[in-house]
Amino acid sequence: MSGQSNEMVAKQFVDFYYQTFDTNRAGLTQLYTETSMLTFEGVQIQGPQAIQEKLTSLAFKTVKHSIVTMDVQPASASGGQGILVFVCGDLIVDGGPQTLKFSQVFQLMPHPQVAGSWFVQNDIFRLNYG
Amino acid sequence: MSGQSNEMVAKQFVDFYYQTFDTNRAGLTQLYTETSMLTFEGVQIQGPQAIQEKLTSLAFKTVKHSIVTMDVQPASASGGQGILVFVCGDLIVDGGPQTLKFSQVFQLMPHPQVAGSWFVQNDIFRLNYG
């Protein structure tokens, strides 16, 4: 994704992430590396295997995310190192009827081995209970 | 704050930030440097003076934040560079009666000139409308 703006990288990432989350959670594993951290509802997990186990073991059959807002900032003062992506949205599990609000922050970093590719260094997810 | 854990730094920061926000918004300016970015409800602002102008011009007389959750991660794979802090909470403006939910992410970085001190490189705030 070399040469693209942070906003374009973030938009592509977010579209891919939630589409994959809603259709094939195991497919998210490729986004994480050994240093990647996920904090999911306060539970901290590191590395692609543990993150996959967490995401695929969540206790619902189906989920549908809808993005309400996406904010993007360059994550480093020195420029070009990372991209901070902050998403707020709605989700419905197992067909509803309740819509839950969530917030999620990602820090994307350039992949050290794959030029123009990005991985998720930081991922923090919270439901916003009403 | 040298030698403290990320969680301790984050807790001290968050306590100071919201207490200062609720009592003396102009006092937040010291937390930002020229490279600092704030995205407030989708409006992107850079640098301490512009951030102060934004925060002090918000159209309410009083505000009270209550923190519900705080998640902390080291922000760099190489360790020690930054701290990612993700806060979800409630706020009441001008005495209520409505409680609003908010989410806010901060990326704290070691201050380049002040050993053991931290500044806010990234700050993204969103209300979570019900």
B86 pLDDT exceeds 90? yes
A99 touches chain B (CB under 8 A): no
Q: State the average pLDDT over residues A116-129.
A: 93
Residue boundaries of the structural domains of chain A: 6-128
% of residues, chain A, pLDDT over 90? 78
Asked if residues B15 and B22 have their Cβ atoms less than 8 Å apart, the reply is: no
In the DSSP assignment, the letter for residue B30 is: G
Structure confidence at residue A1 (pLDDT): 41
Residues 40-79 on B with a CB inside 8 Å of A are: 42, 44, 69, 71, 73-77
% of residues, chain A, pLDDT over 70? 94
- Which of B35, B69, B130 has its CB closest to that of A126? B69
B10 touches chain A (CB under 8 A): no
Q: Which residue, B129, B127, B120, is CA-closest to B38? A: B120
- Residues from chain A that touch B76, judged by Cβ atoms under 8 A, are 121
Residues B86, A105: C-beta atoms closer than 8 Å? yes
Q: How confident is the model at residue B4 (pLDDT cuts 50, 70, 90)?
A: confident
Q: How confident is the model at residue A80 (pLDDT cuts 50, 70, 90)?
A: low
Q: For residue range B33-80, what is the model confidence (pLDDT) as tens digits?
A: 999 999 999 999 999 999 999 999 998 999 999 999 999 999 875 555
**Domain B6-128 classification at class level:** alpha beta
- Residues from chain B that touch A32, judged by Cβ atoms under 8 A, are none
% of residues, chain B, pLDDT over 90? 78
Asked if residues B9 and B74 have their Cβ atoms less than 8 Å apart, the reply is: no
Structure confidence at residue B112 (pLDDT): 81
B12 pLDDT exceeds 60? yes
Q: How confident is the model at residue A2 (pLDDT cuts 50, 70, 90)?
A: very low
Find, in chain B, the residue whose alpha carbon is nearest to that of A129: B101
- Residues from chain A that touch B74, judged by Cβ atoms under 8 A, are 37
What is the total residue count of chain B?
A: 130
Residues B128, A73: C-beta atoms closer than 8 Å? no
Residues A75, B105: C-beta atoms closer than 8 Å? no
B47: left (phi over 0), alpha (psi -120 to 50) or beta: left
Whole-angstrom distance, CA of residue B43 vs CA of residue B110: 25
Q: How confident is the model at residue A49 (pLDDT cuts 50, 70, 90)?
A: very high
Report chain B's mean pLDDT, rounded to a whole number: 91
Asked if residues A78 and A84 have their Cβ atoms less than 8 Å apart, the reply is: no
A88 touches chain B (CB under 8 A): yes
Residues B74, A37: C-beta atoms closer than 8 Å? yes
Structure confidence at residue B93 (pLDDT): 93
The contacts of residue A64 (CB under 8 Å, 6+ apart) are: A22, A91, A92
- Going from the C-alpha of A10 to that of each of A22, A73, A123, the distances in angstroms are 18, 10, 13
Residues A101, B101: C-beta atoms closer than 8 Å? yes
A79 pLDDT exceeds 80? no
Find, in chain B, the residue whose alpha carbon is nearest to that of A35: B77
- Which of B35, B37, B86 has its CB closest to that of A124? B86
Residues B121, A75: C-beta atoms closer than 8 Å? yes
